[in-house]
Structure 1
């Protein structure tokens, strides 16, 4: 079982109001320079948000949500401090995310 941590907000917030692309690009470069496997993903309209019991998201935002998901809880906590207008939480899954 894998435990994932996430920071969720509206797509508009992540894509237009915050420099999330720059943050993720810097994080990717850091991982590559340290020979570390990428353990985070940016997901539009994540399905797990509706099933998540540990966050109380604004109901009108559910259809236009986005999330940064990671296996690294410290990274998500850092994101919460860096981008204060996000909801954080966690969920478990039997499988690991794989994106090509």
Structure 2
């Protein structure tokens, strides 16, 4: 079983209001400097929200959402502190996460 951690917000927030591209680019460069394999993904229209138990209106509009998913809980917690207005959570899956 794989444990995944995520930060989810509107596409507009991630793409236009926060410097997510810069944050993920810096994180990628940091991993490369350590010769560490990437363990995070950015995805639009995250399908995994159907796996969650949450019954919030926020999740009922999946086309408007984007998510950063990682195997690293600490990275997602840091991201929550860095960008603020995201919902964080976790889920388990038997397979590795492969975004569309």
Determine if the TM-score, normalized by the shorter chain, exceeds 0.5: yes
2:88 aligned residue: 88
How many pairs were matched up? Answer: 100
CA drift of 1:61 comes to 4.1
Shift of 1:98: 4.1
Displaced runs of 4+ in structure 1, greater than 2 A? 54-57, 59-63
What is the SS of the residue equivalent to 2:96? coil
- CA deviation string 1:19-40 (max 9, x = no partner): 0000000000000000101000
TM-score, normalised relative to structure 2:
0.90
Q: What residue ranges of structure 1 are gaps of 5+ in the alignment?
A: none
Report the Cα offset of residue 50 of structure 1.
Answer: 3.1
Cα drift, residue 53 of structure 1 = 1.7
Counterpart contact for 1:7–1:88, Cα < 8 Å: yes
1:6 shift after superposition = 0.1
d(CA) in 2 for partners of 1:27, 1:55:
32
CA-based RMSD of the aligned residues comes to 2.0
Which position in structure 2 is the counterpart of 1:72? 72
Tell me the distance in 1 between the aligned counterparts of 2:79 and 2:9. 12
Q: 1:26-83 CA deviation, whole Å, 9 max, x = no partner?
A: 0000000001010000000001113312584625643210000000000000000001
